[in-house]
Amino acid sequence: MLTFLGFLMIIIFMVLIMNKKMTPLTALVIVPVVIALFAGFGPELGDMMKNGVKEIALTGVMLIFAILYFSLMIDTGLFEPLVNIILKTVGDNPIKTTIGTAVLTALVSLDGDGSSTYLIVVAAMLPLYKKQGMNPLVLTCIIMLAGQIMNILPWGGPTARVMSSLKLGHTEIFVPMIPIMAIGIAWVIFVAYILGRREKIRIAKHGKYTNYNTNDIIGEVDLKLRRPKLILINLALTITLLVVMILDLVPLGIAFMIAFCIASIINYPKLKDQQKIISKHAGNALSVAGMIFGAGIFTGILNGSGIMQAMGNSMIEIVPKSWGGYMNIVTAVFSIPFTFFLSNDAYYFGILPIIVATGHQLGISPEILGRASLIGQGSHLLSPLVPSTYLLVSLAGVEFSDHLKYTLKWALGSSVVMLLAALILGII
């Protein structure tokens, strides 16, 4: 029953947002609350939602001030030299622009933090997409495809969870995955070429895309807010912030909060200018924060009711025992829906140990199953349970449902390519 309710919850949510019957925020809150009440969880519902919001609160704070900080830096013109350099390199060629997006995302993603990657790459590349009249869905698609591959880095999240859950080191889990990541990035560059070529043909036939959202991270350019004389100071402040983030010296939300306050004082000493900056970008920050806290309620109910664990156990039980000899392939294939419908914590700490215990009885080593479980990361970030996904679509000014429909087939392609590569190279 719990399993049925869990899948019903996610299916209703997906149908509502993909058909644009509800915004992601309202669907994230209303759907799980209604299902939980129907299932008789009314008395515990308040605590479930409170715990879910608590777990995601620091992430929400971080994203609010990260958006305010990077939006301020865009207003000052910090990224303009980088945009001009990239523009000179790629020219007016959508193919070069999309390939450049893939390469830049892969490089920026080396820090292992998806949120900062989205902020930096969208800030750098969205102006180019606007100048060339390209569809911003192409931008969000390529960024997510590259980010999903790079998310396998040990400090990215899922790999660390596998190593912790199975008590294994990076040499057993991550190092053998490096060739798979390289092939995955090559696939993303290939997809970027295809999408760039399509955009080039579309622009030649139908003209430039102009239906941009004025509430994206770039928004309307205000030359009065430019601070070209402070560009080196702003660059130093941003680099310091990134170093603090990489070294994990203070919580990231606090770091962005402090950095935003310092940047506001340095660039806009007048109080009215500081208020103008906050007012200008408050809508974007609030929309992202709302969806983040909505996702907290969604996952809080899934976890608190036991629905998420029941879903995972049921998905394991549907695998026929006769497939036991192919547990490595089964694990890799099922990691795609597992990591889409469940959180990484639920899958890697709750489900993977059960898979590994079963594999042990069949003589399949835990490191093989651990590596196989990472194949699904090629599609994981598209999940509505991943908070940073809402940040990406808000920054680029696109609808989550449009992004999901546009990117899904390419993301599934990433997982298929990684699976085939892992089998051919004997990684799993």
SS (H, E, C) the chain: CHHHHHHHHHHHHHHHHHCCCCCHHHHHHHHHHHHHHHCCCHHHHHHHHHHHHHHHHHHHHHHHHHHHHHHHHHHHCCCHHHHHHHHHHHCCCHHHHHHHHHHHHHHHHHHCCHHHHHHHHHHHHHHHHHHHCCCHHHHHHHHHHHHHHHCCCCCCCHHHHHHHHHCCCHHHHCHHHHHHHHHHHHHHHHHHHHHHHHHHHHHHHHCCCCCCCCCCCCCCCCHHHCCHHHHHHHHHHHHHHHHHHHHCCCCHHHHHHHHHHHHHHHHCCCHHHHHHHHHHHHHHHHHHHHHHHHHHHHHHHHHHCCHHHHHHHHHHHCCCHHHHHHHHHHHHHHHHHHHHHCCHHHHHHHHHHHHHHHHHHCCCCHHHHHHHCCCCHHHHCCCCCCHHHHHHHHHHCCCHHHHHHHHHHHHHHHHHHHHHHHHHCCCC
252 — pLDDT class (breaks 50, 70, 90):
confident
**Distance (Å, rounded) from C-alpha 231 to C-alpha 212?**
27
Residue 266 has pLDDT above 90, yes or no: yes
Residue 214 has pLDDT above 80, yes or no: no
**Taking the C-alpha atoms of 319, 323, 324 and 327 in order, what is their torsion angle to the nearest 10 degrees?**
-80
- Give me the pLDDT at residue 363, please: 78
Residue 220 has pLDDT above 70, yes or no: no
322 — pLDDT class (breaks 50, 70, 90):
low
Q: Which residue matches tokens 């997906």?
A: 14
Residue 51 has pLDDT above 70, yes or no: yes
Residue 234 has pLDDT above 90, yes or no: yes
Instruction: Taking residues 307-329, report their average pLDDT.
Output: 73
Domain count for the chain:
1
Residue 86 has pLDDT above 80, yes or no: no
Instruction: Taking residues 223-244, report their average pLDDT.
Output: 88
**Within-domain flag for 43:** yes
76-90, 96-110, 311-325: least confident range: 311-325
Q: What is the pTM of this model?
A: 0.78
- Give me the pLDDT at residue 421, please: 93
- Give me the pLDDT at residue 351, please: 80
Query: Who contacts 271 (Cβ-Cβ below 8 Å, separation ≥6)?
Result: none
**Within-domain flag for 54:** yes
Containing structural domain, residue 90? 1-210+224-425
How many angstroms separate the first and last alpha carbons of the chain?
34
- Give me the pLDDT at residue 315, please: 66
- Give me the pLDDT at residue 111, please: 65
Classify burial at 379, counting beta carbons within 10 Å of its beta carbon; exposed 0-12, middle 13-18, buried 19 or more: buried
Query: Who contacts 209 (Cβ-Cβ below 8 Å, separation ≥6)?
Result: 133, 134, 135, 136, 203
pLDDT digits (tens, 9 = 90+) for 284-301: 788 778 878 888 888 888
**Within-domain flag for 219:** no
- Give me the pLDDT at residue 324, please: 61
Higher pLDDT, 42 or 18: 42
pLDDT digits (tens, 9 = 90+) for 159-189: 888 887 788 887 888 888 999 999 999 999 9
**Distance (Å, rounded) from C-alpha 75 to C-alpha 307?**
45
**Within-domain flag for 218:** no
Top-confidence range, 107-116, 258-267, 294-303, 372-381: 258-267
Mean pLDDT of the chain: 85
**Within-domain flag for 389:** yes
Instruction: Taking residues 18-42, report their average pLDDT.
Output: 86
- Give me the pLDDT at residue 308, please: 77
Residue 76 half-sphere exposure, CB side, CA atoms within 13 Å? 27
114 — pLDDT class (breaks 50, 70, 90):
confident
**Within-domain flag for 217:** no
Residue 262 has pLDDT above 80, yes or no: yes
- Give me the pLDDT at residue 5, please: 86
**Within-domain flag for 22:** yes
Instruction: Taking residues 321-348, report their average pLDDT.
Output: 80
**Distance (Å, rounded) from C-alpha 410 to C-alpha 334?**
18
403 — pLDDT class (breaks 50, 70, 90):
very high
Instruction: Taking residues 248-264, report their average pLDDT.
Output: 88
- Give me the pLDDT at residue 385, please: 79
- Give me the pLDDT at residue 193, please: 96
Q: Which residue matches tokens 């998806």?
A: 114
Residue 357 has pLDDT above 70, yes or no: yes
Query: Who contacts 80 (Cβ-Cβ below 8 Å, separation ≥6)?
Result: none
**Within-domain flag for 283:** yes
